[in-house]
Structure 1
Amino acid sequence: MMSDTIRLTVGQAIVRFLAAQYSERDGVRQRLVTGMFGIFGHGNVCGVGQALLEDQVAAEKDGSLEGHLPYYLVRNEQSGVHAAVAFSRQRNRTQTMAVTTSIGPGATNMVTGAALATTNRIPVLLFPSDQFASRIPDPVLQQLESPQTLDTAVTDCFRPVSRFFDRILRPEQAIPSLMNAMRVLTDPADTGAVTIALPQDVQAEAYDWPVAFFAERTWHIGRPVPEPAALARAVEVIRSAERPLLVAGGGVVYSEASEQLRAFASATGIPVADTPAGKGAINWDHPSAVGGVGSTGTTAANTLAREADVVIGVGTRYSDFTTASHTVFADPNVRFVNVNTLGLDAAKHGATMVQADAREALTSLTEALSGWQTDEAYRARVVELDEAWQRDVDECYHRDHTPLPAQTEVFGALNELMGPRDVVINAAGSMPGDLQALWRASTPEQYHVEYAYSCMGYEIPAAIGARFAVDDDVQVVAIVGDGTYQMAPMELATIVQEGLRVIIVLLDNGGFASIGALSESRGSQRFGTRYRMRSGGETGRLDGDVIPFDLAANAASWGLEVLRCDGIEQFRANYVTAAASSGPVVLHIHTDLMGPNPPGSAWWEVPVAEVSTLESTQTARVEYEHQKQGQRHYL
């Protein structure tokens, strides 16, 4: 072995390399990959698994994790990805975590998590194991065989849901692959899931690696500044506006541009609406803040959106919920100015493009618009609309609904009890919509709702990642519906195993509230959306007796303290107890499946059957066709 090389297996080299990578933004330098989640199987236990063991033994001898890569056991590979995504999101994409799995089902269990990461533009590093590169034992246990080619593996499923994909067939291929992986993880525009498939024999294969490969390396996360001509074009459009509206997306939060957004809004008087990823980018009580826009938005934001002649999108990808399926921006001559690091998003809706970092662009726009403001009447209208909406919020938060509370009352209690730096987590069902409309976020780090992929099962593992990301004095609260809970309760064991101080709020309403309400409104009568026994034999519907399960008892079986809450007042009292606990606590409360929910003010397109024998579907189809008349391309 030459003096400038070191002989390691591929697994050992990966672990050592990752421990030496750093990110830097605005002068803050920190570990880029802070740890690895995983489950061991025959594909990785003797490769990456052995390398992690060897690294941990060395860390124990050193008495420090500095220069080492901690390992965390999860119960499901998808959950490991969710936890890593939540950690990275809470760190504003400046850090991430990795996930290792075995081959076959262990690998493909991560595909949903990869799709979630890429859809949300959140960096995460995945190492699914793969079949033998040598092909001698083929077909190995859990290997997929294709009659067309021997080159196909189940890990090819990751290609469309990853921002970067590679398969390492020789040890030396890991060098350029890992370097490119770090590039994508630290690119604010071109980031998402990074997947490096590792054949199990290659993981254990030794190679003489250049020592320089393991030197500490810092990856600088840039802040692209606006191109002057693009900025001038955007300023010209904004200055011509009479009824402008700014839509703040996740890019504002990840860029840590909240201060600049507040300054822009204060200087110009332009109202600011938010997307689910952008909530908290501006504090809810700022005079220009009007709350969520789109299908689950506020009446204030949606009224202004319908009237807006210029829409300024900052860090948003304009999902169908934000645009209310292309109906909410209703002015026939509406124009768009889009600020985004990614050209794909900046170019949407035929916009005047400013391809730049949100913080840099907002600073430049504020300076370039110096002396210009919306007129006094428009600013007064913004305040009037928001004040009316805040009265609706207060009503939703304090309904005193009987016999079971509405879930909006639970949200109200949490919103009033949690501190401005505490983190609320949610992802799927009716709750993200209610939260988008109602939650009063004071800070950008408080609101952690995954609504790009809206993945059931995200919340509990996300609490793990968020807990790793925040300070000890910050409370992490994951709100979980009974549908999501049944999909992925197993990471409660991981929470107990790691001794994590989190609160799980478990809302038990006996069904799928969101899809049930959607089904009813679209003429499908809540079919198959309640947890009921089958009635009338094999051909009967699921509309019999309530299924006799006890989710609170199930949660307790994982080793957590469970506090049952009989009504909102007991929930409030139990939350105080849970917040004072040093360990994980589940707050279980029964809520009304039928709502009521916040008042709606926009549409969401879900196609209704064009022909049907059901009168309910026929009626819903008429309404659907009426709503589609307001839909159009934004050009």
Structure 2
Amino acid sequence: MDTATPAASLAPRTSNQQSAAEAIIDALVEEGVKAVFGMTGDTVLPLLDALYGRSTKIRYVTTKFEMSTAAMADGYSRATGEIGCALFHVGPSVSNAVLGTWSAQKDNVPLLILSANLDRFRLGRDIWHEFDVNGVFSRFTKRSDQMIEAKDARRLMRTAMQVAKSGLPGAVHIDFPKDLLPQPVDVETFDLSLRGGAHSDYVSNATRPDAEAVDRALALLQSAKRPIIIAGRGVTWSRASKLVVRLAEALSIPVITTEMGRGSIPEHHPLSGGLVGHFGLSTANSLLTDADVVLGLGCQFRNVNTLNWQLINPDARIIQVEPDPLEIGRQYAVAVGVHADAGLFLKDLLERIAGKGIKRADPAIAQDIARRKKDEKARYYDADLESTPIKPQLITKVLEKIAPRDAIYVVGSGHHTHFANYIQVSEPDQYHWCVGSGTMAWAFPAALGIKLARPDRKVIVPIGDGDFGMNAQEIETSVREKLPVTVVIYNDVSFGALRIFQKMQHAGRYIGSNVGETDWVKLAEAYGANGVRVDRPADLEGALKRAIASDVTTIVDVRIDPWELAHRTPEFKEFHRF
């Protein structure tokens, strides 16, 4: 077809043909994608029409804003481990998805971004809505393609979904010119029985470790006086949390985690030191500083988990296990670098430990961790929890008391994050935060995607008022789509972290950090949700109980003390140079 002029008509279909749009949606069905999140626009109508005919296989969720769309797909992927899919109209629509796409890419979340573009004969003439979508998305994804011929639809989809989940997972993007979507293409059949299910089942990403590297790692751990394990996202990806616990118990090694590794060991376990780093616990930070051998399992050693690379003793020897060889030695020189899947490494290591009859039982290690936790808990709760405004620590205390043990927490970004991270979790899928980007406006829509994937679980969103205000319109989405979550606003009527920095770093010269009052209760009710404001400590437990039990989204507006610092520690001040 001549791409310089519009098509006059479509070629007739034969009995073994379908539209390119139908081929695209069928590729999602073959992959096992169960949900697509999107914003409607005229360029995506052929794709929506194809979805309409497959609504029993794929649920389409209409959102209120494109950043939310990407975040919902991101959350869905984090909860399922499968590809999250989001669909966008041309120009202004897909450009609004950049932040959400980048956040997923930073955290290695397999996300498929589909955008529909204008007809080909219009492109390149600076027309209304035209946007260099591939030029932009190639900067924020593993791969960005555009369909040039309708017959390429399935090939592009299969390639994109394989890339999204291969190696280090991440975001991928495909752009589809609108005039190609109705074009007839041959129907392709793919026998799912050949691979037993979703496309990802026949793409192996797991790398087995070199035997010599495993032996060297074991020798180093045996020689250590104060070894420690840092469990990162690699443990979560390989579903190896039980193996982490087995290793810790076999050799009496403390385990600390990154944000994406939380739940790799139950945080009430005697050998758990908790979350490490800037947003973590002093217990974990001090354990890492004291360690002479550090076993990093897919943790990358980024600045946020090492307090700008200052937590690890310069004399400590590091064993780094990474599925991405380019990450090994990137932040620290390593004694042993292991290019491997964390789960396969742990299996091989545990086999050697069992085969050699190695066992180290040292109750003093668990006793030391318990002492550090007790001291930290005393510091954390060293506040009048009956005072007004409400201390943020009280929210932690109440949620740990009343929330279901398997509740999922989706945490926003801000000063409140420090407080929320004291809530203990026991499983790898109980805690979610976009740690790589640290963006605001992510948590609430991501929680809706997680709720769609986990309808049987209670989903709780600890979030600041500044963060929640950026995507509060998705309350309507939660009500319409019947995705009830509990939103707990740590409300200090400001961008609290910035105001604290201005107090400590700029002599109290406040500008840009204070915001006006919002009646969150009325806003929730306007969208058909529930809302409650809590000003008194005595009212908090009852309000949270009712909210969590509700079958509709409930906004709990907790008026907190705006000057209560989450950390009274040298590490916190050092990170921000107070």
Determine if the TM-score, normalized by the shorter chain, exceeds 0.5: yes
Change in CA separation of 1:401 and 1:320 when aligned onto 2, cut-off 3 Å: farther
Q: Pairwise mapping of residues 139-150 of structure 1 onto structure 2 (< 5 A)?
A: 139-144=126-131
Kindly provide the amino acid, as one letter, of the partner of residue 444 in structure 1.
P
Kindly provide the amino acid, as one letter, of the partner of residue 500 in structure 2.
A
Deviation track 1:542-567 (CA, whole Å, cap 9, x = no partner) reads: xxxxx353232222222111122232
Change in CA separation of 1:224 and 1:420 when aligned onto 2, cut-off 3 Å: farther
Kindly provide the amino acid, as one letter, of the partner of residue 565 in structure 1.
V
Change in CA separation of 1:429 and 1:300 when aligned onto 2, cut-off 3 Å: same
Residue in 2 that maps onto 1:628: none
**Contact 1:503–1:579 (Cα < 8 Å) also in 2:** yes
Q: Pairwise mapping of residues 568-579 of structure 1 onto structure 2 (< 5 A)?
A: 568-579=537-548
**Contact 2:19–2:184 (Cα < 8 Å) also in 1:** yes
Report the Cα offset of residue 196 of structure 1: 0.6
**Contact 1:300–1:385 (Cα < 8 Å) also in 2:** yes
Q: Distance in 2 between matches of 1:498 and 1:287?
A: 41
Counterpart selection for 1:459 from 435, 443, 453: 443
Deviation track 1:351-371 (CA, whole Å, cap 9, x = no partner) reads: 222222222222322333452
Residue in 1 that maps onto 2:43: 43
Deviation track 1:128-151 (CA, whole Å, cap 9, x = no partner) reads: 22233233794432114xxxxxxx
**Contact 2:275–2:284 (Cα < 8 Å) also in 1:** yes
- Bigger CA drift: 70-79 or 221-230? 221-230
Gapped runs of 5+ residues in structure 2?
A: 1-10
Q: Pairwise mapping of residues 147-546 of structure 1 onto structure 2 (< 5 A)?
A: 153-187=132-166, 189-212=167-190, 218-220=199-201, 222=204, 223-329=206-312, 331-348=313-330, 349-351=332-334, 352-369=336-353, 370-373=357-360, 378=365, 380-393=367-380, 395=381, 399-400=384-385, 402-436=387-421, 438-472=422-456, 474-523=457-506, 525=508, 527-532=510-515
The CA RMSD measured in Å over matched residues stands at: 2.6
Q: Distance in 1 between matches of 2:124 and 2:160?
A: 30
Kindly provide the amino acid, as one letter, of the partner of residue 11 in structure 1.
A
**Contact 2:71–2:446 (Cα < 8 Å) also in 1:** yes
Q: Distance in 1 between matches of 2:365 and 2:372?
A: 11
Q: Distance in 2 between matches of 1:309 and 1:494?
A: 50
Report the Cα offset of residue 192 of structure 1: 0.9
Report the Cα offset of residue 3 of structure 1: 12
Change in CA separation of 1:562 and 1:2 when aligned onto 2, cut-off 3 Å: closer
**Contact 1:270–1:374 (Cα < 8 Å) also in 2:** no
Counterpart selection for 2:565 from 593, 596, 602: 596
Superposed structure 1 runs of 4+ greater than 6 Å apart? 1-5, 213-216, 604-608
Give % identity: 23
Change in CA separation of 1:365 and 1:38 when aligned onto 2, cut-off 3 Å: same
Deviation track 1:482-531 (CA, whole Å, cap 9, x = no partner) reads: 10121111111100101222111122211112222233333363633533
Deviation track 1:375-426 (CA, whole Å, cap 9, x = no partner) reads: 6655543343233224334x26x74153201222112211221122111111
Deviation track 1:251-305 (CA, whole Å, cap 9, x = no partner) reads: 2223222211111111111111111111221111212111122223322222222
Counterpart selection for 1:110 from 78, 97, 117: 97
Kindly provide the amino acid, as one letter, of the partner of residue 92 in structure 2.
P
Change in CA separation of 1:237 and 1:199 when aligned onto 2, cut-off 3 Å: same
Q: Distance in 1 between matches of 2:44 and 2:12?
A: 29
Residue in 2 that maps onto 1:73: 62
Change in CA separation of 1:292 and 1:212 when aligned onto 2, cut-off 3 Å: closer
Q: Distance in 1 between matches of 2:67 and 2:448?
A: 13
**Contact 2:308–2:575 (Cα < 8 Å) also in 1:** no
**Contact 2:403–2:548 (Cα < 8 Å) also in 1:** no
Kindly provide the amino acid, as one letter, of the partner of residue 40 in structure 1.
T
Kindly provide the amino acid, as one letter, of the partner of residue 84 in structure 1.
A
Query: Is structure 2 residue 63 aligned with structure 1 residue 97?
Result: no
Change in CA separation of 1:301 and 1:132 when aligned onto 2, cut-off 3 Å: same
Kindly provide the amino acid, as one letter, of the partner of residue 245 in structure 1.
I
Kindly provide the amino acid, as one letter, of the partner of residue 255 in structure 1.
S
Q: Distance in 2 between matches of 1:526 and 1:494?
A: 39
Change in CA separation of 1:244 and 1:5 when aligned onto 2, cut-off 3 Å: farther
Deviation track 1:290-322 (CA, whole Å, cap 9, x = no partner) reads: 112222332222222222221111121222110
Report the Cα offset of residue 217 of structure 1: 5.6
Q: Distance in 1 between matches of 2:192 and 2:281?
A: 51
Residue in 2 that maps onto 1:20: 30
Q: Given the two structures, how large is their TM-score scaled by the length of structure 1?
A: 0.82
Change in CA separation of 1:299 and 1:161 when aligned onto 2, cut-off 3 Å: same
Deviation track 1:549-606 (CA, whole Å, cap 9, x = no partner) reads: 3232222222111122232331210122222222221111211111132333425777
